[in-house]
Amino acid sequence: MKNMIYKSKKGDLDLSKITRLYPAVVVDLHGEIAEMSLEWEELYGEKVKLLSYILVFDFTQLGEDVKNRTVLEFETKEELIDTMSEVSQFF
């Protein structure tokens, strides 16, 4: 079986246990901090303050109440894309 361990800056992540993986942006929406999709940011990003780019590794199993996720944060979209490219090598 292929090794599915991604070595991130927050530690080793077992990608074989992932339920969702998605990129997003963190924005300041008039004083409220929110995660939005990259597509949303492309459409409306000039109307809000962009705080960071993130890649969310969600390990929460169906029916679990407690979220089990790791979020990697990036200052630039390029850093996010580079990491997404690294992670995609596992799939």
For 49, the domain range is 5-88
Q: Tens-digit pLDDT profile for the chain (91 aa)?
A: 568 999 999 999 999 999 999 999 999 988 999 999 999 999 988 888 999 999 999 999 989 999 999 999 999 999 999 999 999 999 8
pTM equals: 0.89
> What is the total count of domains within the chain?
1
Please give the distance of CA 11 from its chain centroid, rounded to a whole number: 15
Q: Where are the beta strands (DSSP E) in 30-82?
A: 32-36, 49-58, 69-74
Three-class SS state of 4: coil
| Cβ 90 vs Cβ 16: under 8 Å | no
